[in-house]
Amino acid sequence: MERRPSIFPLLSGFFGLSELYRVQLFTQIHEIIFHGNGGYTWNEVYNMPIWLRKFTFQKLNEYFEKQNSAVEKSTKSTSKVKGPDIDPTYKTKASKI
């Protein structure tokens, strides 16, 4: 079936948030609440001004990126634990009694 152009262009306007934006919005709200360690409620984050929610999300993101890089740096700098330096060719003879 062929679609005809709408005679009333205002009818095809904005009817809500796009699916992609909704996923991004609710993901951002979840991350702030979950990683905010109880400092935020869903209602507080949802009703935050957009600039403040983005700022808060960015600061939490920066904090956890720094924390992850510090952990990676400390695990890379840690050397492996070496066992005792024993010659594998060393053989002992049991005494003959």
3-class secondary-structure state, position 58: helix
Whether 44 maps to a domain, the answer reads yes
Whether 33 maps to a domain, the answer reads yes
Whether 6 maps to a domain, the answer reads no
pLDDT at 79: 61
Whether 10 maps to a domain, the answer reads no
Whether 53 maps to a domain, the answer reads yes
Residue type, 77: S
pLDDT-flagged residues of the chain (< 50): none
Residue type, 20: L
Whether 97 maps to a domain, the answer reads no
Whether 49 maps to a domain, the answer reads yes
Whether 52 maps to a domain, the answer reads yes
8-state DSSP, 71: H
* Domain carrying residue 37: 17-74
pTM for this predicted structure: 0.59
Question: Count of domains in the chain?
Answer: 1
